[in-house]
Amino acid sequence: MLPFTMTIILMVSAAVILAVGKNSFAKRLTLGVLGISFAMSIAMIAKTAGGGIISLVLGNPPWNISLSVGALEAFMSCVFTGIGFIIMWASVSMIDHDVEQKRIPLYYTLICILVAMLCGIVFFDNMFNVFILIELGSTVAAGIVVIKGQPENIRAGLKYFALSILGSGFVLMGLVVFYTLTGALSYTGIQKGLLENFNVNSVFYALVFITIGVGFKSALFPMHIWLPDAHGTAPSPSSAMLSALVLKAYVIFYIKILFLVVGHQAIASNEELSMLLNIVLILGVIAMIAGSFMAILQTDIKRMIAYSSVAQIGYIYMGIGLNSELGLFAGIYHILAHAVTKAGLFLAAGSIIEQTHNREINRMGGLGYQMPITISLFAIGALSMIGFPLFVGFNSKWYFSMAIMDSGQFWLVAIIALSSLLNTVYYLPVVVRSFFGTEAREKSENRVLLERPVKDLLPIIVLFGLVIIFAVFSAPIINIIETGMANIW
Amino acid sequence: MNFLILMPILFPILAGLILPLLKLGNDREKRQKYVGAVVSLTVLSVSIVISAGDLSLRLFQVTNSVYMLLAIDDLSRFFLVLIALLWLLVTFYTFEYIKHEGKDVRFFSFFLMTLGVIMGLCMAGNFFTVYLFYELMTLITYPLVVHSETPAAMKAGTRYLAYSFVGASLALIGFIFVGHFGLTINFTPGGVLDPAMVAGHDNLLLVIFLLTFIGFGCKAGMWPLHAWLPVAHPVAPAPASALLSGVITKAGVLAIIRATFYIFGMDFIYGSWVQITLMCMTLLTVFMGSMLAYKEKLLKRRLAYSTVSQVSYILFGFTILSFLGFEGAMLHIVFHAIIKNILFLAAGAVIYMTHQTYVYELKGVGKSMPITMWCFTIASVALVGIPPTAGVISKWSLAMAGIMSSYPLLGTIGAGVLLVSALLTAGYLISIFANAFFPGADFDYKNLKNTEPVKLMTVPLIILSVCCIFFGMFPTPLMNFIDRIAFALF
């Protein structure tokens, strides 16, 4: 019952926030309900850590409501609600700058629905339910982009919405193929159906459709074209939610389709299916390199971070494309690593923009003397993205590398090294220019402190604390992911 | 007891971090006392750590197989003592010198942190820890390089970062392969590669070893990743150049020793094409460095090119993979560190007092700054390799090791290159002090003033010069200690 109750509570609070319509109430209730959801997610982890599954079935298959939550789902729920909580905590002081007062209750309504939908996508076992949530997610996610109300937001939001719906269409086509093939709608149901009636051609087309659909939604290169606009122009807490969390829910859905429904052995033993995964791998690799190159070309700090997400999503798809247990593990670990780091980076960038009204990287010289804490925090995020040891980004880079070595495709190690070098090229100058150089020298002499109060910076500090804590005390996380993967692999 | 091992790392790093918060303001004297005390206490903690037996400490389980390991062995002791003592001497010199650079809070803050990081590198017990401290060192030394924040310094700093990160990426590739093909990532004399897994991938792993060597060779100024060094060392303030050239290049050397003898293992490399390639690459660097130094007119850059050349002497010694080569290289680590510190500190003293930066401007400096230039002369003579100074012993061993190596032809050519390079060294250094002491008949003796710097600057120079001669005459205790390290490997 726990996961279902949690989803319902989130949905109900969304409605309550809109009904009451008070800003401070909206903020408080959102934080409260996210906190409760996080506690419930921790309880779910405690229940499933031994390998158990919480399941709930209402009605008769195939057209029913069913949930199935193992350790992986509980872990993802922790990520969504926990990091969501921290982002919303940061939004309390940031959102007033980006969103009109009268729209703030609506904003928090959308956020509550969004988190409910993210958790729902991983909880629900019935694809029909999952699809409805995915559709709902497209609308809500576009909503938190356009809520800022500037023309460029509306343009970006519409682009996002259109491509997201297109993606949903592809996902639906894939699900239809699975349904006609097996007559089932749940992951396990389709899996059983496929064991009896494995038609390679149908499965191949279903996977192609779902890959394209999920690719659009999670911004797999070259289906990422909406992401820089949407993430770059959205209010910073929205960018953090979208980059850190929203993309990941679709990836989990994709992972379950691939490895739970179809299965890694079936993929490995069929030429067509392994070719498809190879294409996913190649697209991931291209995203890693191309995303970084495009990030280097950006002058707007938020667009730069957004392009960096394209590259980081590429890492995750590369891990999936390896079709190996280690690769999948690395991908899931990176979901967490990227979520904490990218959320922090977007919030730090948001703080910079809010205080200096400047988004241009070229004009950030000497900022380290005006906002020393924010820039230092940004530096932690940058180093984590670069893959510096003792930051969480290094851990996932290491897991990806070990997965690559295990699969024998040694050339990919060079890609990893190249990609982290490229990350250095665009992340490090921001930090370096803030503290050193002619402008820095001038600004250090006439110091104007623009730092936000520590109270407001606290959530960002917590996020970057997690970046380090997850890196040096990673054993519990490794255990949970491994237990969760046992249900899928 | 094992926690003691953290002292030399954490103490200076924390002290450096809190220095800007201490509100010492403009009180230069208090600040100097603070920095002096921190460095002295670090040296003290090093002496405790090295005498407390083979300590080791495991921290931070990053992944199942990767964790931070600090451990003390004889090689760590060797580097710890060398670096800590040199650091102490340079610290006192810096107190005076930094007056002319300004921004000394920031300088000393990073100066202390660099000490902590390099102590960590010395005590690293596995590949991960070396990689971690190696990367950290790049970041922490960057502010020392760009200290003046002039456009030239910023450009040099960017180049420094670019080369260092490329080098570190190559080392990371090596680390990843070791993580897969190795039985462990902990340093073990003789190497850690798993023969069963390596079988069939020998050539691939040799390439990877070559990449790792080149990657770590970046900090040591080895061709092809050397080009940052002659740009970055001269723009830094003189004490920083002295440490960058004399000490931090040795960090690259240490990483190479660890990778060669403790990770990939000598047996794996011995007699392979990679060994020949590396011998040729180091010899090329030796020759190229001295040629460029000979042609260079800017004093500090001339010394930086000389570093490129001399550190590759050391690397050449290691690539021979013989007992004698190892011994010579280790000796040269000590001697070059001492000598290059003298040269840079003396050059710094000259620049500090006279603001002359080109070699042809140094005419007659020997008359006005006799102590400084005498130290410079002793160091030059030692670097050329003239008895009774220190350089001769290491250079002799290296040349002998080359001739007696398993590739007699290449080794003999190598010995020849070392000899030619020594001649070039003589050419580019003797001209400086000859000019300084014998300015020629047209020199204006009437306006001669004694511009000798204060004792804070000259005493470290004198101590180092005495060491330079002392080790030349009594190298036995040092050699015995090096032999102890070498016996574990050969």
Domain residue ranges of chain B, discontinuous segments joined by +: 270-490
What angle is formed at CA A127 by the lines to CA A124 and CA A133, rounded to 5 degrees? 65
> Is B180 touching A (CB cutoff 8 A)?
yes
Q: What's the number of domains chain A is made of? A: 1
- Residues of chain B in contact with residue A475, where contact means CB-CB under 8 angstroms, are 61
> Is A402 touching B (CB cutoff 8 A)?
yes
Per the omega criterion (within 30 degrees of 0), is the bond before A3 cis?
Answer: no
Tell me whether residues A390 and B66 touch, CB distance under 8 A. no
Nearest C-alpha in B relative to A399: B63
Nearest C-alpha in A relative to B211: A414
**CA distance linking residue B315 with residue B283, whole number of Å:** 9
**CA distance linking residue A254 with residue A175, whole number of Å:** 12
Tell me whether residues B172 and A417 touch, CB distance under 8 A. yes
**CA distance linking residue A301 with residue B351, whole number of Å:** 42
Q: Dihedral of CA A255/A256/A262/A264: which sign? A: positive
Q: How far is B437 from chain A (nearest CA, A)?
A: 39
> Is B63 touching A (CB cutoff 8 A)?
yes
- Residues of chain B in contact with residue A394, where contact means CB-CB under 8 angstroms, are 62
Q: Measured between CB atoms, which of B64, B68, B173 is closest to A417?
A: B173
pLDDT value of position A241: 92
Which two tokens mark A1? 């019952």
Q: Measured between CB atoms, which of A405, A406, A437 is closest to B149?
A: A437
**What crossing angle do the helices spanning B391-403 and B408-437 adopt, rounded to 10°?**
160
Q: Measured between CB atoms, which of A424, A440, A441 is closest to B165?
A: A424
- Residues of chain A in contact with residue B64, where contact means CB-CB under 8 angstroms, are 478
pLDDT value of position B25: 62
Per-residue pLDDT of chain A (489 residues; tens, 9 = 90+): 888 899 999 999 999 998 888 888 889 999 999 999 999 999 999 988 888 888 888 888 778 888 888 899 999 999 999 999 999 999 988 888 888 888 889 999 999 999 999 999 999 988 888 999 998 888 899 999 988 888 888 999 999 999 999 999 999 999 999 998 888 888 888 888 888 888 888 899 999 999 999 999 999 988 888 999 888 888 999 999 999 999 999 999 999 999 998 888 888 888 889 999 999 999 999 999 999 999 999 999 999 999 999 999 999 999 999 999 999 999 999 999 999 999 999 999 999 998 888 888 888 888 888 888 999 999 999 999 999 988 999 999 999 999 999 988 899 999 999 999 999 999 999 999 888 887 877 877 777 888 888 888 899 999 999 999 999 888 889 999 999 898 888
Size of interface A-B (CB pairs under 8 A): 83
Q: Measured between CB atoms, which of A398, A413, A416 is closest to B66?
A: A398
Q: How far is A347 from chain B (nearest CA, A)?
A: 24
What are the angstrom distances between the C-alpha of A135 and each of A178, A249, A286, B29?
A: 19, 13, 28, 68
Determine which of A398, A407, A422, A441 to mutate to test the interface with B (most B C-beta atoms within 10 Å): A398
> Is A384 touching B (CB cutoff 8 A)?
no
Determine which of A332, A392, A402 to mutate to test the interface with B (most B C-beta atoms within 10 Å): A402
Q: How far is A242 from chain B (nearest CA, A)?
A: 28
Tell me whether residues A437 and B180 touch, CB distance under 8 A. no
Q: Measured between CB atoms, which of A395, A405, A473 is closest to B176?
A: A405
What angle is formed at CA B211 by the lines to CA B205 and CA B216, rounded to 5 degrees? 125
Tell me whether residues B62 and A389 touch, CB distance under 8 A. yes
Q: How far is B125 from chain A (nearest CA, A)?
A: 15
**CA distance linking residue A3 with residue B51, whole number of Å:** 59
Q: Which domain holds residue A338?
A: 2-488
> Residues 191..220 of B with a Cβ closer than 8 Å to A: which?
204
pLDDT value of position A314: 94
What are the angstrom distances between the C-alpha of A168 and each of A175, A212, A464, B308, B487?
A: 10, 9, 34, 60, 68
- Residues B237-253 as b or e (16 or more Cβ within 10 Å = b): bbbbbbbbbbbbbbbbb
**CA distance linking residue A437 with residue A440, whole number of Å:** 5
What Rg value do the Cα atoms of chain B yield, rounded? 22
Tell me whether residues B61 and A473 touch, CB distance under 8 A. yes
Give pLDDT tens digits for A87-98. 999 998 888 888
> Is A437 touching B (CB cutoff 8 A)?
yes
Task: Provide the residue type at A179 as one letter.
Answer: Y
pLDDT value of position A302: 92
> Is B146 touching A (CB cutoff 8 A)?
yes
pLDDT value of position B190: 85
> Is A410 touching B (CB cutoff 8 A)?
yes
Determine which of A325, A394, A444, A481 to mutate to test the interface with B (most B C-beta atoms within 10 Å): A394
Q: How far is A219 from chain B (nearest CA, A)?
A: 27
Tell me whether residues B179 and A405 touch, CB distance under 8 A. yes
| Residue spans of chain B under pLDDT 50 | none
pLDDT value of position B26: 67
Which two tokens mark A327? 């690769």
Q: How far is B154 from chain A (nearest CA, A)?
A: 6
Tell me whether residues B180 and A421 touch, CB distance under 8 A. no
C-alpha A456, offset from chain centre = 23
